[in-house]
Amino acid sequence: MLTEYDMRHGGPYDRGSADCYYTRGCDPHYYRFGTYTSERVTNLTEQELAAYMAGYEDAMRDGARKDWD
């Protein structure tokens, strides 16, 4: 079964993939509207947590990371 997630900027899936890409570690959260321009939500529902983790894990599998050099 293929699960579809809301891919909007600032959403749980987006934040999971961004945390992984920028090597920030796993810190489940999302932004109610735009990233850094709205409330940061850390009390995630089960569905939101699943989306965050899917974004993080997909990015881990992809292997792309920010080159800080």
Cα separation, 1 vs 33, in Å, equals: 28
Residue 64: the pLDDT is: 87
Question: Which phi and psi angles does 30 have, rounded to 5°?
Answer: -160, 175
| Contact criterion met (CB below 8 Å) for 13 and 49 | no
Within-domain flag for 6: no
Q: Which range of residues forms the domain containing residue 17?
A: 12-62
Residue 69: the pLDDT is: 83
Question: How distant, in Å, are the alpha carbons of 39, 65, 66 from that of 69?
Answer: 31, 12, 9
Residue 2: the pLDDT is: 67
Parts of the chain with a pLDDT under 50: none
Number of domains comprising the chain:
1
Within-domain flag for 7: no
Residue 1: the pLDDT is: 59
- The single-letter DSSP state of residue 2 is P
Within-domain flag for 34: yes
Burial of 17 (0-12, 13-18, 19+ CB in 10 A): buried
Q: What is the pTM of this model?
A: 0.91
